[in-house]
Amino acid sequence: MGGVQVTKEIIDECINFIGGFKAADNGDTPLKLGHIAVKCADFPESLLKFRKEKWNVVIADFNDGESLDTVASRSGLIREEVYQIKEKHKDRTTFYYKYKAFEAFARPISEKRLIELDDLPKALIATIESLSDCGIYTVGELIDLYVHNTLRAAQEKSVSMWRERKNLLFNVIRNECYKLL
């Protein structure tokens, strides 16, 4: 699954995930809400492991080549639930590789200071100054804040950027990423 080629769609999916957006405002790419539960200190590795240990056992059994019926019987879960766990793991693993590719692709932008972003609207200057007061100076620091914390915790730590300003700032970052394509 490695070797993912970053596309506009992958940029959108990753920026939407980071900012907690349900869909791109310029399209209808849905955010898989299951990803929200994995925002924590060890993101993106948290995508590869479930919080429920029983689900991790289900995935280990599948990885060992066990059939759906065998895994369901062994786990005490119904077939449909086992199948959903398998599909959720597949989606999370796929997103993990997309995110890792995006992370490497966007490294030059991650190192950029927020105040130095191209085409930065004047409306964001005060927001960026507030973020600086919180110790957030670069795009990478802002991204880390949002992927290592729940959306609510990130907003509390980033002086609760108004939704419009947050959307505007993440769209500036999105456009910077598009320029790298």
Over residues 58-103, the pLDDT tens digits come to 999 999 999 999 999 999 999 999 999 999 999 889 999 999 999 9
Q: Where is pLDDT greater, at 31 or 105? A: 105
Assess whether pLDDT exceeds 50 at residue 141. yes
Number of domains making up the chain = 2
DSSP state string for 127-159: HHHHHHHTT--BHHHHHHHHHSS-HHHHHHHTT
Assess whether pLDDT exceeds 50 at residue 33. no
Residue 68 within a domain: yes
Looking at 60, 84, 105, the residue that finishes a domain is 105
Per-residue pLDDT band at 42 (split at 50, 70, 90): confident
Alpha-carbon gap, residue 74 to 92, rounded angstroms: 23
Q: Are 51 and 87 in the same domain? A: yes
Look at residue 155 in the predicted model and tell me its pLDDT: 67
Query: 121: cis peptide before it, omega within 30°?
Result: no
Assess whether pLDDT exceeds 90 at residue 156. no
Residue 2 within a domain: no
Mean pLDDT of all residues belonging to the chain: 86
Q: Are 36 and 79 in the same domain? A: yes
Residue 3 within a domain: no
Predicted model pTM: 0.84
Look at residue 72 in the predicted model and tell me its pLDDT: 94
Phi and psi torsions of 67, nearest 5°: -80, 165
Looking at 84, 105, 126, the residue that finishes a domain is 105
Looking at 87, 105, 123, the residue that finishes a domain is 105
Amino acid at 140: G
Tokens of 79: 């077939």
